[in-house]
Amino acid sequence: MDDLIFSANAVLPIILLVLLGWALKKIKLFTPEFLRVGNKLTFNVLLPVLLFNNVYAIGSFSSINWAFVLYSIIAVIVIFLVSIPICIWFTKENGQRGVLIQAIFRSNYAIIGIPLATQLFGSEGAAAASVLSAFTIPVYNALAVITLSIFNGKNEKGKINVGKILLGIVKNPLILGVAAGLLVLGIRAIFEATGVTFRLSQISFLQTTLNYIGSTATPLALLVLGGQFEFSAISKLKKHIIFGTAMRTVVVPALGLGVAYLIFGNFGGQYYASLIALFGTPVAVSSAIMAREMDCDGDLAGQLVVWTTIFSSITLFLTIAIFRFAGIF
């Protein structure tokens, strides 16, 4: 019973915020315009600041478990590469291929994953998740830009525009947030090496402001996610929804976590909390925004956000319960 309660306590706060967003839309407190602006605000401002804060909170590069980080990056890239031929085989429409590939490899790590890791393993889980975010979120977003640039409705021949892809990566707000955090972290390391005692955290009003902004990212993003839930177009896209949801919530977590356990065994609950967050959370909310902006199938992308979020509440609960029963948490 304790294992089930632990799992519920980790997952339910996230689900309840999503349900609240859905309810607020139903009573028309959330309007379509509010949800559109909320999405852009979260993607362009709040999440980049949150990621900056998470990266800056890393103690030092020397404290990073590089085996854990390297495994995560390699696993994400391998999943991405394997998903390409699978999705090319599964559907003939280029715009749908890009959406499905993104759904398979890209989880909602920034919005749901980091809070989940914190719920699972407290401050140690938050620290491990923050370290991982500095490396995996740029990888996620770079691969997403590459995927949606090649596989979209206006690029049926799959031509590669390297300049456009690189520009999309450089301009991505989430990558910029992580890059800014790494830059400041590097400056801090130089200060430490040269004996300079000044730190960004000493500018109290600035640090507090950044914390305020970053702390609003997750709750607002989850509320907006709930407000965007639409159950239309299900019959037309049923096959694609089932395929994408099963891959994202069942196949990818089983492979990512299973291989990690075979390689590392029980190498620390805080790391498995981060890996569960990385592989087990639903497809990123921003994936639907990017899909629409890059001429992919926006309807399918939105449906996959909805249905992977719904089903991941079940699969995450079961995964956490299994790891809890195994004594890892």
Cα–Cα distances (Å) from 75 to 8, 64, 257, 275, in that order, read: 27, 18, 10, 10
Residue in 134, 111, 58 with CA at minimum distance from that of residue 225: 111
- Provide the number of structural domains found in the chain: 1
Position 238: which residue type? K
Q: What is the predicted pLDDT for the residue at 309? A: 81
Question: What is the per-residue pLDDT across 41-74, written as a single tens digit (0 to 9) for each?
Answer: 888 898 889 888 877 877 666 667 888 899 999 9
Helix (H) or strand (E) holding 66: helix 66-90
Cα–Cα distances (Å) from 22 to 17, 26, 45, 299, in that order, read: 9, 6, 23, 18
Percent of the chain with pLDDT over 90: 18
- For residue 101, what are the domain limits? 2-325
Position 308: which residue type? T
- N-terminal to C-terminal alpha carbon distance within the chain: 15
- Provide the β-strand partners of residue 205: none
Q: Name the band, by pLDDT with cuts 50, 70 and 90, for residue 36.
A: confident
Q: How far apart are CA 3 and CA 118, in angstroms?
A: 17
Count of all residues that appear for the chain in the document: 329
| b/e per residue 75-110 (b: at least 16 CB within 10 A) | bbeebbeebbeebeebbebbbbbbbbbbbbbbbbbb
Cβ atoms within 10 A of the Cβ of 257, count?
20
What is the mean predicted confidence (pLDDT) over 199-204? 74
Structure pTM?
0.81
Q: Which two tokens stand for residue 142?
A: 């770079």
Q: Name the band, by pLDDT with cuts 50, 70 and 90, for residue 122.
A: confident
Q: What is the predicted pLDDT for the residue at 150? A: 84
Q: What is the predicted pLDDT for the residue at 15? A: 76
Q: What is the predicted pLDDT for the residue at 241? A: 92
Residue in 63, 50, 68, 163 with CA at minimum distance from that of residue 115: 50
Q: What is the predicted pLDDT for the residue at 173? A: 84
Question: What is the per-residue pLDDT across 77-110, written as a single tens digit (0 to 9) for each?
Answer: 999 999 999 999 998 888 889 899 999 999 988 7
The set of residues, in sequence order, having a beta carbon less than 8 Å from that of 115 and lying 6+ positions away, is 13, 14, 218
Mean pLDDT of the chain: 82
CATH number of the domain that residue 98 is part of? 1.20.1530.20
Question: What is the per-residue pLDDT across 131-168, written as a single tens digit (0 to 9) for each?
Answer: 888 788 889 888 988 888 888 766 555 566 667 777 77
Q: How far apart are CA 226 and CA 61, in angstroms?
A: 37
Which class for 276: exposed (0-12), middle (13-18), buried (19 or more C-beta within 10 A)? buried
Q: Is the model's pLDDT at 322 over the cut of 90? A: no
Residue that wins the pLDDT comparison between 107 and 204: 107
Which class for 325: exposed (0-12), middle (13-18), buried (19 or more C-beta within 10 A)? middle
Of the listed ranges 17-21, 24-28, 162-166, 273-277, the least confidently predicted one is 162-166
Q: What is the predicted pLDDT for the residue at 117? A: 82
Of the listed ranges 14-23, 162-171, 182-191, the least confidently predicted one is 162-171
